[in-house]
Amino acid sequence: MAGRTAARGLTQYGVAKAGLSHLTRYLATDLNPKVRVNGIAVGSTATSALETVLVMPEIRDTMIANTPLRFIGEPEDIALGVLYLSSPAARYVTGKIIEIDGGTESSTLDIPIPDF
């Protein structure tokens, strides 16, 4: 998600994610028709990467409130997307970024950084 939206304090992360999204599209173009290349843009997911913030009720609650489906995703939610993309059901899908993010359109968390 950080590759398609802007959020304060996440410049380097967002630019790297955007680069990966574009790389996905280029690889899909270069490797077709024998290889399909797709990516998954993951929203807030309850993994060890978010463990330190999810234990703080006020931050967790803000993230949930800012997610249209009103819950934090689980790794299984992402795995189901991977399963779809690797199945025959996705045989006509290439060069796409599938968003599995609970419907979020912007960052679910504001990072307090000082103004320049």
Question: What string of pLDDT tens digits covers the 116 residues of the chain?
Answer: 666 677 777 889 889 999 999 999 999 999 999 999 999 999 999 999 999 989 999 989 988 998 999 999 999 999 999 999 999 999 999 999 999 999 987 665 666 667 77
What is the value of pTM for the model shown?
Answer: 0.82
Range of the domain at 64: 11-100
- Is 92 among the catalytic positions? no
Contact between residue 20 and residue 3 where contact means Cβ atoms under 8 Å apart: yes
Is 70 a domain residue?
A: yes
Pick the catalytic residue: 13, 26, 84, 92?
13
Pick the closest to residue 27 from 89, 94, 90, 88 (CA basis): 94
For residue 30, the model assigns a pLDDT of 98
Provide the number of structural domains found in the chain: 1
For residue 75, the model assigns a pLDDT of 98
Lookup: tokens for 72: 């934090």
Is 95 a domain residue?
A: yes
**CATH code assigned at 76:** 3.40.50.720
Is 41 a domain residue?
A: yes
Is 89 a domain residue?
A: yes
